[in-house]
Amino acid sequence: METMRILRIAIALALLVVAGAACAGEAPAPGAGASPAVPALNAAQAPLLPTDAIALPEFDFDSYRELLGQLRGTPVVANIWASWCGPCRIEGGDLARASRTYGSRVQFLGIDILDSRSSAREFMREFGWTYPSVYDPTGEIRDRLGLVGQPATLFYDASGTLVSTWNGPLTPEALAKRLDRLVDAAE
């Protein structure tokens, strides 16, 4: 009995190591280290919003709620992700494209959880994210929102009301549909 339990634990750990290695991806291209400025709101409107897309300031749930309050007046897409998360890699490019397409009409915000900042920054550079992410090393924000796993994406209208939640990797169609609704409601 004890031997089977140890074997199961060893297999689980081995699978985690393999999954982590598979999600490591390629190193950023030379010159990809520059951190893009974050478009949209200025520091006076949302002082908690990072102005450097890869700054990754540490946030807890209360900081997140405070930032959402500062962003009222602009629709917000908050995506909970991690660099080691395979499904997060599936949607990474689609989120970057959507952020560029919708520009300042929607504020994108990443919430990097249970990760290392260096791996998170590599992920952001790899997918060309120009919108900011915050760093939640314990996953408190996700947990206090009542979510399990990642990725998870929350869509807030301009009044700050949560209007939609998507668990798992977003499809480009689902993302566009929800973004169009947010923008139409804000106009």
Whole-number Å distance between alpha carbons of 133 and 38: 10
* Between 73 and 29, the higher pLDDT residue: 73
What average pLDDT is seen over the chain? Answer: 83
Q: In the structure, what pLDDT confidence band is assigned to residue 2 with cuts at 50, 70 and 90?
A: low
Over the stretch 126-151, which tens digit does the pLDDT of each residue have?
A: 999 999 999 999 999 999 999 999 99
Answer yes or no: is pLDDT of 40 > 60: no
What is the model's pLDDT at position 66? Answer: 97
* Between 173 and 13, the higher pLDDT residue: 173
Mean pLDDT of all residues in 148-158: 97
* Complete DSSP assignment for 121-185: HHHHHHHT--S-EEEETT-HHHHHTT--SS-EEEEE-TTS-EEEEEESPPPHHHHHHHHHHHHHH
Burial class (CB in 10 A: 0-12, 13-18, 19+), 115: buried
What is the model's pLDDT at position 111? Answer: 98
Structural tokens at position 102: 């919708």
Q: Are strands 76-81 and 162-167 parallel, antiparallel or unpaired?
A: unpaired
Whole-number Å distance between alpha carbons of 37 and 34: 9
Q: In the structure, what pLDDT confidence band is assigned to residue 103 with cuts at 50, 70 and 90?
A: very high
What is the model's pLDDT at position 64? Answer: 98
- C-beta of residue 84 within 8 angstroms of C-beta of residue 165: no
What is the model's pLDDT at position 187? Answer: 85
CA dihedral 32, 97, 68, 88 (to 10 degrees): -80
Counted residue by residue, the chain has a size of 187
Whole-number Å distance between alpha carbons of 186 and 107: 12
* Between 187 and 159, the higher pLDDT residue: 159
Structural tokens at position 68: 């959402």
* 51: DSSP letter: S
- Domain spanning 35-186 has what CATH number? 3.40.30.10
Answer yes or no: is pLDDT of 14 > 70: no
Over the stretch 104-123, which tens digit does the pLDDT of each residue have?
A: 999 999 999 999 999 999 99
Mean pLDDT of all residues in 85-104: 97
